[in-house]
Amino acid sequence: MRAITLHINGTDHHLEIEDNWTLLYVLREVLDLTGTKYGCGTNDCGACKVLVNGEPKNSCVLLARNLEGADILTIEGVSHDGHLHPVQQAFVDAGAIQCGYCTPGMVMTSLALLDQDPDPTEEEILKALEGNLCRCTGYEKIVEAVQLTARRMRENAES
């Protein structure tokens, strides 16, 4: 075991970990942050997506021991004071959730995209989300949710 400090959702967590533990394992099994999902475990589905220094990353293939000093954001850190983040609210409003298993990963990727580009085209949204698989929705509603967030952000900025 090694001692490590991980900065997750604005809080430092002092942990004892094994060298081969992934970030996903630490989140779910050590910290009980189960909003980040285990899908494939092989870097293919995006269910385990979190933001590391603002970039969407699959936490199932990141070794926790390499992440000291990184700013890690999980789905649990996205809402504030009991209020959904606008991206989360747009997923609800657009009906972009069915079983919901892919949703945390979709939200994390969408957050990173909108942070870099507040007005992405449909093509850009699909490109950003190509590493996030959904077995239920057919993606149309998910794209709509991202577009809805962008539109609301623009309207808020103008008002």
Residues binding ligand FES (CB under 6 A): 38-41, 43-48, 58, 60, 97-102, 134-137
Are 130 and 113 a contacting pair, CB within 8 Å? no
Query: What is the nearest approach in angstroms of ligand FES to the Cβ of residue 12?
Result: 25
Smallest distance from the beta carbon of 36 to ligand FES, in angstroms?
A: 9
Stated length of the chain: 159
Q: How many CB atoms lie within 10 A of CB 84?
A: 15
Long-range contact set of residues 37-42: C-beta below 8 Å, sequence gap at least 24: 37/101, 37/102, 37/104, 37/105, 39/101, 39/102, 39/105, 39/133
Rounded CA separation 127/136 (Å): 19
d(C-alpha 117, C-alpha 15), whole Å? 35
Residue among 79, 40, 76 nearest 58 (CA): 40
Name the residue nearer to ligand FES (CB basis): 17 or 102.
102
Least distance to ligand FES from the beta carbon of 80, Å? 24
Closer residue to ligand FES in complex, CB, 119/140:
140
CB of 143 to ligand FES, least distance (A): 13
Using the minimum distance from each CB to ligand FES, give the nearer residue, 39 or 120.
Answer: 39
Residue whose CB is less far from ligand FES, 44 or 122: 44
Q: Is the CB of 134 or the CB of 143 nearer to ligand FES?
A: 134
